[in-house]
Amino acid sequence: MIKLPEDIDVSNKKPRDSRWNVFKCFDSYFNSTFPKVSSRFDLIHVNTYGLVYILNGTDKTKKPLLLTAHTDVVPVPENTIPRWTYPPFEGHFDGECVWGRGAEDCKNSLVAIFESLELLLGQGFTPKRTIVLGIGFDEEISGHHGAYHIGQYLLNRFGPDSIYLLLDEGGNISEDVYGSSFALPATGEKGYVDVFIKLATTGGHSSIPPSHTSIGIMAKIIDAIEDEPYEPQLIEENPYYKMLQCAAEHSESMDPKLRKNIRSMHLESSKKNVIKAIAENISSKYFISTSQAVDIIHGGLKINALPEEVVTEVNHRIIYGSSIGQIREKVLRAVRPVAKRFGLSIDAFGVRMEFGDSTPLGKVTLTTYDGLQTAPVTPIENNPTWKLLSGTIRHVFEDSKSAFNVNQKPIFVAPSIMSGNTDTRHYWNLTKNIYRFNPIRGDYSYNIHAIDERVHLDAHLETVAFFYDFVRNADQIR
């Protein structure tokens, strides 16, 4: 499947655009590779390249199980291809690993879902619970053409709160969480918003420049934004709160002071100590902080012409306890003194501001698109779907014999949070039981979204085993 080069970034183009044609090949691939799935499941094409597979169960009183994945991958920049050990779309197997773009995100899970179902059907499996597969094709660019339409189709067909459980990509199994092994299904997801900052000024010849060109002024704005990072915060709604509590109880090598503070987070002083410790580590900091990243800037056309317009885009991933409104306020707080200093007016998300009586020398426009608040958190207390997921994880990755489990180390299952966003954003109204989990050991999947992305074959086989057991176990639960 890695040989199918479905790297695409045309978020403003509809699926009828010819650049989406790379996704035509998936029908024939699934039909030829998984004939039992293709013959038993009904296939519905949604918005051209979205795929919904449905196998009706024999017990109509049971809510359907929904498994989701996506066929698209992030692009491979042309200038990085020589740095790959093997070509990124060759799907090379070296005897241990499958190499290529999308090997981990998310062809491992996508193929494993089909492989497990093909095996089950070949063994005569007839489900009581309806099984639904939702395969998007633009998850890497927010899923507006794929998962959004799949979600609407499923909502129209089954209704709101009609799905028993949704399992999508997400956290994996970490072999070293304070010295112990933890599976970390995400029961929540950070919010998202991009802020666009456009600065328009008078142009001119670069031989007679002002003291600060529009690019220089934008640099001041960027400095102001980056000089004020978001304060970390940890509220009980954040799934990471429960993850820390679980780690404090079960991890082998957590610092004793941190363990003590986590156990007493009901005290404000202890919580502050926990926040300070977590925020000092870049790998955990953004589980309790809103992130801001100035990712795009463009402006200027010629070396001898003053730039008349400069645009900067700032990406934000919003933590529980914050909001899109607070992001807007913070960006405006950074922009306002710069605009005042240089005599610029501001259009702040539709509200105009001017400073002084003189005619503004330019204009700063702030806008946001496609904002997403933090996701509803899946409850885990007394929730049979959590017991189903955690029990299956422990059976496959802890109890079963595999190349990676010779020591039979215990695996603890704790809720966590996705710092990025997944296609689940389009399925919120289908179920309250949404889990984001890649059933793979993190130490054996490498370089997601990067050069030499690859997955160990034995780790992939564990993923297949997980879906095989998970589908069977879900079928037995009332």
Instruction: Please tell me the predicted confidence (pLDDT) of residue 476.
Output: 96
61, pLDDT greater than 90: yes
Identify the active-site residue in 6, 72, 105, 169.
72
| Of 143-147, 240-244, 354-358, 463-467, the least confident | 354-358
Query: In whole angstroms, what is the distance from residue 449 CA to residue 57 CA?
Result: 37
Convert the pLDDT of each residue in 126-142 to its tens digit.
999 999 999 999 999 99
| Closest C-alpha among 337, 377, 336, 342 to residue 358 | 342
292-315 average pLDDT score: 96
Where do the structural domains in the chain lie, given as residue ranges? 18-189+375-476, 191-372
Give residue for tokens 């240089």.
342
Instruction: Please tell me the predicted confidence (pLDDT) of residue 17.
Output: 64
166-181 average pLDDT score: 95
Q: State yes or no: is 347 an active-site residue.
A: no
94, pLDDT greater than 60: yes
46-69 average pLDDT score: 97
Query: In whole angstroms, what is the distance from residue 192 CA to residue 315 CA?
Result: 8
Query: In whole angstroms, what is the distance from residue 273 CA to residue 285 CA?
Result: 13
Contact criterion met (CB below 8 Å) for 311 and 298: yes
In the three-class reduction of DSSP (H, G, I as helix; E, B as strand; rest coil), residue 340 is classed as helix
With cut-offs at 50, 70 and 90, classify the pLDDT of residue 23. confident
Identify the active-site residue in 115, 118, 139, 469.
139
Task: Show the tokens assigned to 458.
Answer: 């034995």
302, pLDDT greater than 90: yes
**In the CATH hierarchy, which fold is given to the domain comprising 191-372?**
Alpha-Beta Plaits (3.30.70)
One-letter amino acid for residue 116 of the chain: S
pTM above 0.75, yes or no: yes
Transcribe 54-91 into DSSP letters.
EE--S-TTSPPEEEEEES-B----GGGGGGSSS-TTS-
- β-partners of residue 417 are 188
Burial label for 373, CB within 10 Å (0-12, 13-18, 19+), is middle
Query: In whole angstroms, what is the distance from residue 120 CA to residue 36 CA?
Result: 9
Q: State yes or no: is 27 an active-site residue.
A: no
| Of 89-93, 229-233, 246-250, the least confident | 89-93
Sequence-distant contacts of 124-127: CB under 8 A, at least 24 apart: 125/472, 126/58, 127/55, 127/57, 127/58, 127/471, 127/475
Task: Show the tokens assigned to 161.
Answer: 């709160």
Query: In whole angstroms, what is the distance from residue 253 CA to residue 276 CA?
Result: 19
State how far the alpha carbon of 475 is from the alpha carbons of 61, 128, 136, 166, 229, in Å: 12, 6, 24, 14, 47
5, pLDDT greater than 80: no
Instruction: Please tell me the predicted confidence (pLDDT) of residue 360.
Output: 84
With cut-offs at 50, 70 and 90, classify the pLDDT of residue 27. confident
Instruction: Please tell me the predicted confidence (pLDDT) of residue 6.
Output: 58
In the three-class reduction of DSSP (H, G, I as helix; E, B as strand; rest coil), residue 460 is classed as helix
Average pLDDT, the chain: 93
Transcribe 187-199 into DSSP letters.
EEE-EEEEEEEEE
With cut-offs at 50, 70 and 90, classify the pLDDT of residue 357. low
Convert the pLDDT of each residue in 370-420 to its tens digit.
799 999 999 999 999 999 999 999 999 998 766 666 566 899 999 999 999
| Of 94-108, 230-244, 319-333, the least confident | 94-108
**In the CATH hierarchy, which fold is given to the domain comprising 18-189+375-476?**
Aminopeptidase (3.40.630)
Instruction: Please tell me the predicted confidence (pLDDT) of residue 18.
Output: 67
Instruction: Please tell me the predicted confidence (pLDDT) of residue 478.
Output: 81
**H or E element at residue 291:** strand 291-299
Contact criterion met (CB below 8 Å) for 175 and 77: no
Query: In whole angstroms, what is the distance from residue 3 CA to residue 38 CA?
Result: 21
Instruction: Please tell me the predicted confidence (pLDDT) of residue 444.
Output: 86
Contact criterion met (CB below 8 Å) for 411 and 361: no
| Closest C-alpha among 183, 176, 186 to residue 254 | 176
Distance, CA of 449 to chain centre:
12
Instruction: Please tell me the predicted confidence (pLDDT) of residue 399.
Output: 84
